[in-house]
Structure 1
Amino acid sequence: MKTKISLLAALLMLGIASAQQNLNYRTKQFNLDKGVALSGYDPVSYFLKNPKEGSKTYVFTQDGVKYYFANAANLETFKKNPAAYEPQYGGWCAYAMGAKGEKVEVDPETYKIVEGKLYLFYNRLFNNTLTDWNKDESNLKKKADANWMKLVK
């Protein structure tokens, strides 16, 4: 009986350690501005084709990553299926991830929804990487997926 309890306790501790590693991974890998994803924009609002800044009134932390929402309805929508609304590549520039495997800042209002997933892009100083992404999206997406997996291992 003591052996079973000891084994159960060890498994519980291992599970806690694994969960903590997942939180650390996400907070280290995601593009967070002052601890908040998407520069404070509401992730659900992108899928409504109207990106809006969220409010500190409506906040939710998903596995260590904090999100703001424009309203209670969007917050509740996100809670039901967070994976459907979180940005790809941790919110870093999709083009840079595909072209060079680099984490590059984004303009939160320069985005594209592809197959139900949110992709963000750098857009400053006369350089809108969404334009370049659109020229070779299929190839860049494959490369970005592979590059992201290398970074997060």
Structure 2
Amino acid sequence: MKKLAFLLIVLGLTFNGFGQKSKIFKTKNGALDGYDPVAYFTSKKATKGGETFTSSYNGVTWKFTSNEHKSLFEANPEQYLPQYGGWCAFGWSKGYAAKVDPEEWTILNGKLYLNYNEGVHKKWLKDKENMIRKADVKYAEAKVDPEEWTILNGKLYLNYNEGVHKKWLKDKENMIRKADVKYAEAQMK
């Protein structure tokens, strides 16, 4: 569990007066690290998309394995979007955003959920309904912009916006201590 702390959202846990949801989890390969969101539903497996079939939605590039999948997505993107912006479902149940392994996924009630790794996915599966309820609330209250980040001592810290990020950088040691306490409290729940 401590390994997940490196993806802790610092100001999302310590500043509660702002109102912005997290954006889509993406890498240099695009949303879902380049995996085809439609394939989870149609092929029932995680499948890398390609450069040939791409679409832009919410300012993020989505990749597909076929023109058919691209068309299905463009006709109804909300049907294929992963929950919590593609961030880890387990992480959000604890109140923080964590990157995902697109190979660790579940479709439940027509919704796509992703997890950080195989171990986290197995733990999430054991209590998924409860974790989904918690994650739904915590994600709805999310106050961060994953575009504003810093890696410090091997940990990734996300902030609300550019202005808050700059303030955080000036007092990062104190903010990290506060976030570590919040993280520890979340693990006890």
Compute the TM-score of the two structures, normalised by the length of structure 1: 0.75
Deviation sequence 1:94-125 (CA, Å, 0-9, x none)? 01111x211111111110001101000111xx
For 1:105, give the aligned amino acid.
K
Structure with higher helix content: 1
Question: Which stretches of structure 1, 4 residues or longer, exceed 2 Å deviation after superposition?
Answer: none
Aligned CA-pair RMSD: 1.8
Which residue of the other structure, out of 73, 82, 88, is the alignment partner of 2:83?
A: 88
Which residue of the other structure, out of 44, 59, 66, is the alignment partner of 2:61?
A: 66
Count residues in correspondence.
Answer: 124
Match of 2:141, SS state, is helix
Q: Is the 8 Å Cα contact of residues 35 and 65 (structure 1) preserved in structure 2?
A: no
Which residue of the other structure, out of 27, 33, 42, is the alignment partner of 2:36?
A: 42
Q: How do 1:3-152 residues align onto structure 2 when only pairs under 5 Å count?
A: 29-34=23-28, 36-47=30-41, 48-98=43-93, 100-123=94-117, 128-152=119-143
Compute the TM-score of the two structures, normalised by the length of structure 2: 0.62
Match of 2:71, SS state, is helix
Cα distance in 2 for residues equivalent to 1:54 and 1:101: 30
For 1:133, give the aligned amino acid.
W
Change (3 A) 1:82 1:130: same
Residue 136 of structure 1 and its aligned partner are, at CA, apart by 1.2
For 1:55, give the aligned amino acid.
G
Q: Which has the larger radius of gyration?
A: 1
State percent identity of aligned pairs: 40
Q: Which runs of 5+ in 2 are unaligned?
A: 1-19, 145-189
Match of 2:142, SS state, is helix
